[in-house]
Amino acid sequence: MRWNIDAGHSAVEFGVRHLGISTVKGRFQKFEGAVETDAAGVPTGIAVTIDTASIDTNVADRDAHLRSPDFFSAAEYPTIAYRSTAVRSLGGEAYEIAGELTMRGVSRPVTFRAAAGAAVLDPWGNRRIAGEATGKLNRKEWGLTWNQVLEAGGLMVGEDVKFTLDIEVVAERAAAAA
């Protein structure tokens, strides 16, 4: 069964260390995707596409820099894509999702931990499931290498990026018979 992401009830967020002393958080405002499940409702596949130009850290100048060739190069690489290659149950509502993340034209394996609840029926008759996936990656592995070394030797922008995807999906309805 296919479940489409309800972007109005979902979030794709990240955090990265700034000056080695704090974490700057941001989110992508535009994304889409779907989750495939088997007949028992167990996830079997996930695909998400993110609009890189939709990055939002609440600082317009920083967002413009992140869209530039120093980071995402949003004009040349307008999307970030994730496609699962394997979903493994860890028991209960927990899963490990292995897949391929493509960013700035570079595809590399990334594994997330995820948890998903049971399906519910909303007031309009739609079946919905919500879940959260978390992970960490080193941005340099995708060519996001811009940085400045600080006077004390630390880095202005941390290399590790933590991701959290809070996703609500809606079951696709079968096409009505003609």
| Cα–Cα distance for residue pair 100/107, rounded to 1 Å | 6
Q: Is the pLDDT of residue 40 over 80?
A: no
| Cα–Cα distance for residue pair 29/149, rounded to 1 Å | 30
Q: How far is CA 94 from the centre of its chain?
A: 17
Q: How many CB atoms lie within 10 A of CB 97?
A: 21
Question: What is the 8-class DSSP label of residue 72?
Answer: T
Candidate CATH numbers 3.30.1330.200, 2.40.50.1070, 1.10.3210.10, 2.40.128.110; the one for domain 2-170:
2.40.128.110
If pLDDT is split at 50, 70 and 90, which confidence band does 157 have?
A: confident
Q: What is the dihedral of CA 110, 111, 115, 118, to 10 degrees?
A: 80
- Give the ranges where the chain is alpha helix by DSSP (H): 60-67
Task: Report whether 110 contacts 136 (CB < 8 A).
Answer: no
* Residue 105, CB-side half-sphere exposure with 13 Å CA sphere: 8
The 10s digit of each residue's pLDDT in 94-153 is: 999 999 999 999 999 999 999 988 889 999 999 999 999 999 999 888 887 777 777 777
Residue 174: its pLDDT value, please?
A: 62
Residue 175: its pLDDT value, please?
A: 54
Domain definitions of the chain by residue range = 2-170
Task: Report the candidate in 100, 105, 119, 115 with the shortest Cα–Cα distance to residue 47.
Answer: 100
Task: Report the candidate in 176, 178, 167, 171 with the shortest Cα–Cα distance to residue 125.
Answer: 171
Full-model pTM: 0.89
Give 39 or 46, the one with higher predicted confidence. Answer: 46
Residue 173: its pLDDT value, please?
A: 78
Task: Please name the residues in contact with 165: beta carbons below 8 A apart, sequence gap of 6 or more.
Answer: 10, 11, 12, 13, 48, 112, 132, 133, 134
Residue 152: its pLDDT value, please?
A: 75
| Cα–Cα distance for residue pair 165/163, rounded to 1 Å | 7
Mean pLDDT of the chain, nearest integer: 90
